[in-house]
Amino acid sequence: MIPATMEQLEQVRKECRAMVNKRATASAGTTLVPVPGTDVVADVGMLMQLLPAINNKFGLSQQQLSGMDPETKSMIYGFIMSIGSKIIGRMITKELVVQVLRRVGMRVATKSVAKFVPFAGQGLAAVLSFTAMRYVGNKHIDDCYEVARRMIEQREGLPGEPSTSSLEDDTRHDLEEKHQDHHDSSNGKN
């Protein structure tokens, strides 16, 4: 379920950032295994667990979205499209994770090569691994946060961005006033 308040949303973001830091640290640790490609396979596996966990925490997993009413679901997908996320509300597959990693591919490629430079290379690879994992995770958190924030604002009808229900109420009120004015003027009341 999407957080109901900004306080809840902030708490979810904090919890997700902790998850990302834990996985990024683990990713950095996998660079110590001197077998080529082991770290990339481990990163894909970690992201296949991490990204759905983030979606779930924000109430934006594919399963959670499928259970929503069509109007809410449509609004959320509109927000998702406007920020350009390819991960929110989707089934997280190996192919999708590989696409995400390709976006940060230079770091991953550098990490794999740097690992074979004695001493400093493994340290550099660990730093790059940590940075890449943290970047992907935090970017996804930021995207989920933005979608959830927009939903909260929509629900609350914050000033400057009226909710659809308050727009409907305003329109109905305007129509009632016009009807009353018309009724008053046709009865000679002015």
Could you give the CA distance from residue 26 to residue 152 in angstroms, rounded to a whole number? 34
Helix, strand, or coil (residue 32): coil
Instruction: Give the mean pLDDT of the chain.
Output: 76
Neighbours of 39 (CB within 10 A): 24
pLDDT in tens, 34-77: 555 555 667 788 888 999 999 999 999 999 999 999 999 999 99
Q: Give the pLDDT score at 161.
A: 43
183 has pLDDT over 90: no
Query: CA of 150: how far to CAs of 61, 71, 147, in Å?
Result: 17, 15, 5
- The pTM is what? 0.69
pLDDT band at residue 94 under the 50/70/90 scheme: confident
Could you give the CA distance from residue 169 to residue 37 in angstroms, rounded to a whole number? 59
Provide φ and ψ at 126, rounded to 5°.
Answer: -65, -45
Could you give the CA distance from residue 112 to residue 129 in angstroms, rounded to a whole number? 9
Average pLDDT over residues 94-104: 80
